[in-house]
A and B are shown apart, each in its own frame.
Chain A
Amino acid sequence: MSSNPQHDYLERVKAEIRAEADCARERDRVPRAEALAPAQARACDDGIDRECLDYAIGELTDAHYSAFLDLAFRALLKRPPDDVGSETQVRLLAAGASKAEILGNLRWSPEGRRIGTRVRGLLPRYALAKLARVPLLGYFVDWGIALAGLPILLRHQRAADTSVAARFAAATDAQREHDRRLEEFRIGLAALGVEHDRHFEAIGDDIRRALLRLDSLEQRAQALEGRTTTLEQVSATSARELIDQRHHVLTANHWVVSLQRNLAELEDAANAQRARTDQLTATIKEPAAESASRSARHAGWAGELATRLPAASAVLDLGSGDGAWLDALSARGVAARGVETNSVLVARAQARGAQIALGDPLGALTRCADASLGGLVVAAHTLAASDTDIAELLAHAQRALKPEGYLLLRLEQGATRLVGTSSAMLDAAHWAAILRGAGFDAVSELVATSGTALLARRP
């Protein structure tokens, strides 16, 4: 067993793609964990760490003023400061309250108690701050705290003096650097001014040249305008002529459309008439006796023709009617193709499985290639049709038949015809003479009940 490696590769790729698609479909069905991640990320984006409920007091007192309040609200109440709460605490700070007191106010507010954040070192400081608010006693408490903290305050003061001196020296250096840059900028600005003036003059020269060019263009535009006016006059004359011509064309077009409509109506009427004729013709019932006679007659003729044709000969039957003759040929093993003008009979015969086409019999014969037919059968009503050119038909029969091929004329009244065929058209002797005159030989008569067939050979 052999296999194409490239085919196998493509099939393997397709199987893998199918598997990937199945996975993607499954992912669509299950809520995606990563889809939740952004929502959680958004919750932390507001700067509130809701998981943290334990702080050292130093973490909350480094910031100052509004930054301090913002941090305190977010740490202790787990929300940003609201306008009223923030304003109250700012007032306290402005009135000299300590940060410990502000933190304590928030921590032990009803909202802060519900959250219960722990701040290490806050409770004693908050208690002292509250004690300092007690009348009279608070005054002594403040004094005590101040005296106790005096050495620390002195150390802070000395450190602050040093820091201020260092920052002042840095600020002086920065001021000098700033002055130097300012001077450089002034020099650069003066140079730019000179350059700007030079460019300004050059632009002025360009504008003067452009104005001169504009004057020249205006003169040319005026000249063109004069020529355009002339052209417009010519164009207007042409347009009037064009309108006249358009009128003539529309008139002719209207006439052609009317003609086409009339032709179409005539064609429709002719088609309808033809359909009615076909329908009526197809309703004619052949008497049982004649039908039996016709079947016997056809069987005999088909047998005679079959014995003369080589095997697998192509046979064309012109004017097949209801296809009974084709059936007779088929029963003798002759594969014949028929052509009939009656669409109702053709549809019926096709439904029975007969090889029959709707069309003009002579047209079908003329489309046959040279020497392509073993046998050709022509019905009497086809010969009698008003638009059949007998000479042309026989000439095409000579051309399309192979040498030694046979032509069979069925001289019988059609089973399903509105108008019978004249006796002159069924005269076998008359047709035999015509066939000999047209170049056929071995003309023989096959006489049967109610009909005669003429069999002729193409030399």
Chain B
Amino acid sequence: MRIAMLVPGLAPHDAVSNDALGMTVALRSLGHEVALFAPHARGIDEPVHAPATLDAWLRSTTDVVIYHYCSSWDFPLALFRRARARRVVRYHNITPPEFFAGWSAGYVDECARARAQLDAFATLDCELYLGDSPFNVADFTARGVGADRCAVLAPFHQVAQLAALAPDSSRIPDAVPLLLMVGRLAPNKGHLDLVDALAACIASDDEGAHLLIIGKLDPNLASYGEALRAHIQERSLQSRVTLLHDADGAELRAAYERADALVMLSQHEGFCVPLIEAMALGTPVIALASSAIPWTLGDAGLLWEAADPHLIAASVARLRRDEELRRMLRERGLKRYADAFAPAPLARQLGQLMGRISTA
């Protein structure tokens, strides 16, 4: 089968790019011919074709186009309307614009436009709507797409490569307990709640508690970065919070190794790759049960219905003193990763889905 992988952009350390590249490798190992199409790409060791050449590349009605839908882009919509090949919408979810209200008008517009395309794609009756999680798939079933046209496949990732790196802890705080948050600085990620949770930790028995935030800050969200810094200052926690905007893989590896817990209080996630990084590397997880997080984490972490600072602080304290709990969460995390998210089961599921498309 000839498969075109259409992506809005390709770059290293990007979750959507990792998924597209991982799918490409897996599909080639299954014997398919796969080509990547993107309007721009950097740092990718792979030929990338211009989207304008995609029509010419498709030769047969049995060819497949997989579009990675994560932003507003009119080109795939027009292509899917005219293409006679089989069409797959690989949906990574779009953050609802409400989260960005008051922080960035540009983000509000972009997210609103991107989410508006959900209706258009749902009307096209594509051969497969492939979500990262059941939470993502629900966006299409709620718009009338039949369940027989939908499927869930967790995203491909770089966790194995991360685990193979030698840790570099030169910039990682040597504090106990160390709370870790991984993810870009955005209003839906719950950083302000994290700071409150850190304050609660310090007010209780964990006086040495420290929060390490690893994630990039988009200049368009500078106001959110300023608000986070102001919140830290209000709480007099400047010396207790470390922000790393430029951490590399080796530092991320060291952070997971040293952290007492990954604390994920994000209010909207389509999948949440840091959760499986933590599971694969044996770091206990404390998380808010929002959006796709309960499905991704399963029973391999402490899930809470609210981002209550006292609840988070009590969870950290319990994890520190309860070795049996740490061991159990670590074992569950490793098992969930191996069963559901390791490259081998993902490649197997993808192979089954391709078989389903070919007989659709």
Contacts and interface: CB of A to CB of B under 8 A. Distances in A.
B81 A17 contact: no
Contacts of B358: 369
A359 B78 contact: no
B149 to A, nearest CB: 10
Interface string A262-280: 0000010000000000000
Interface residues of B, number: 33
Nearest to A369: B359
Contact of A21 (B87, B127, B311): B311
A403 interface: no
Contacts of A346: 123
Nearest to B144: A350
Interface in B68-90: 78, 81-87
Residue of B84, B200, B325 ringed by the most chain A CB atoms within 10 A: B84
B315 interface: yes
A366 B302 CA distance: 50
A14 interface: yes
B81 A267 contact: no
Contacts of A22: 310
Contacts of A290: none
Residue of A17, A18, A359, A360 ringed by the most chain B CB atoms within 10 A: A17
Contacts of A10: 299, 328
Residue of A6, A10, A16, A372 ringed by the most chain B CB atoms within 10 A: A10
Interface in A329-360: 337, 339, 346, 350, 357-360
A17 B124 contact: no
Interface string B89-131: 0000000000000000000000000000000000111010000
Contact of A359 (B81, B204, B318): B81
B46 interface: no
Given A21-B311, A24-B203, A28-B310, 6 more contacts: A13-B302, A17-B315, A267-B78, A360-B81, A367-B84, A367-B87
B42 to A, nearest CB: 17
A39 to B, nearest CB: 19
A9 B308 CA distance: 22
A360 B85 CA distance: 12
Contacts of A339: 125
B246 interface: no
Contacts of A366: 61, 84
Contacts of A459: none
Interface string B303-334: 00000101101110110001001001000000
22 contacts: A10-B328, A17-B311, A17-B314, A17-B315, A17-B318, A20-B314, A20-B318, A21-B308, A21-B311, A21-B313, A21-B314, A24-B203, A24-B204, A28-B310, A350-B123, A358-B124, A359-B125, A360-B81, A363-B83, A367-B84, A369-B359, A372-B359
A20 B317 contact: yes
A382 B84 CA distance: 17
A7 interface: yes
A158 interface: no
B314 to A, nearest CB: 4
A9 B326 CA distance: 12
A363 B310 CA distance: 58
Nearest to B61: A366
Contacts of A285: none
B232 to A, nearest CB: 20
A337 B127 CA distance: 13
Interface in A1-48: 6-7, 9-10, 13-14, 16-18, 20-22, 24-25, 28
Nearest to B311: A21
Given A6-B328, A7-B299, A25-B310, A13 B318 contact: yes
A366 B83 CA distance: 10
B184 to A, nearest CB: 29
A364 B83 CA distance: 9
Contacts of B86: 367
A116 B83 CA distance: 104
B322 A28 contact: no
Contact of A369 (B144, B317, B360): B360
A367 B310 contact: no
Nearest to A357: B125
